[in-house]
Structure 1
Amino acid sequence: MRKLSMAVAVSTIALAAPGLAAADTFNYASFKSGVSQIRNNGFTVDAGTATQTGRVETQYHHGFNAALAVGRQYDIESSFNIRTDFELGYSKNKAKSHTLTVVDRSDPNVPTTVSESSLPNPRGDLTMITGFVSVYGEKDLEVIPNASFIFGAGGGGAQVSLEEYSGGGPVVMDDDDISYGFHLTTGWSYHLTDRTSLEATYRYMSIEEIELESVDGLSESQRIDSHHFMAGVRVGF
Structure 2
Amino acid sequence: MTRTLALATALSAGLGLTTATAADMAGPARGSFAPLAAPASPAGFYFGTRNGFGGARDTRFDVGAGAVNVTNQYEMGFYNGLMIGYNFGPVLGGVGLRGELEFGRSQFSIKTHTVNGARVAGIDSFGDLRSYGGFANAFLDFNLATLAGVPADSLLARITPYIGGGIGYSQVELRRMGVSATGVIMDDSDGRFAYNLAAGVGISIFERTTLEIGYRYLAVPDLQFVARDGTRTRTTAAANMVTLGMRRQF
TM category, shorter? 0.7 to 0.9
CA distance, structure 2, for counterparts of residue 171 and residue 53 of structure 1: 17
Equivalent AA in structure 2 for residue 36 of structure 1: G
Structure with higher Rg: it is 2
Number of the residue aligned with 1:63 = 77
1:36 aligns with 2:20: no
Q: Which has the higher helix share?
A: 2
Q: Distance in 2 between matches of 1:136 and 1:117?
A: 41
Q: Does residue 218 in structure 1 map to residue 231 in structure 2?
A: yes
Pair 1:233-2:246 in alignment: yes
- Residue of structure 2 in register with 1:129 after alignment: 132
1:38 and 1:161 mapped to 2: Cα distance? Answer: 13
Count of residues in correspondence between the two structures? 198
1:178-217 superposed matches below 5 A? 178-217=191-230
- The CA deviation at 1:34 is 2.4
Distance 1:65 1:36 in 2: 8
Return the match for 2:99 from 84, 91, 98. Answer: 84
Counterpart contact for 1:36–1:91, Cα < 8 Å: no
Q: What's the CA shift for 1:37?
A: 1.2
Shift of 1:141: 3.0
> 1:235/1:117 Cα in 2 relative to 1: closer, same or farther (>3 Å)?
closer
Which letter does structure 2 place at the counterpart of 1:85?
A: E
Q: How high is the TM-score relative to the length of structure 1?
A: 0.78
Distance 2:119 2:84 in 1: 47
Quick one: which amino acid aligns to residue 222 of structure 1?
A: T
Shift of 1:133: 0.2
Counterpart amino acid of 1:26? G
Give the conservation status (yes or no) of the 8 Å contact 1:36–1:93. Answer: no
Q: Distance in 2 between matches of 1:117 and 1:134?
A: 39
5+ unaligned residues in a row in structure 2: which ranges? 1-40, 149-154
The structure carrying a bigger strand percent of its residues is 1
Shift of 1:229: 1.2
Q: Is 1:116 matched with 2:118? A: yes
CA distance in 2, matches of 1:148, 1:117: 45
2:62·2:70 contact (CA, 8 Å) conserved in 1?
yes
Match for 2:183 among 146, 164, 170? 170
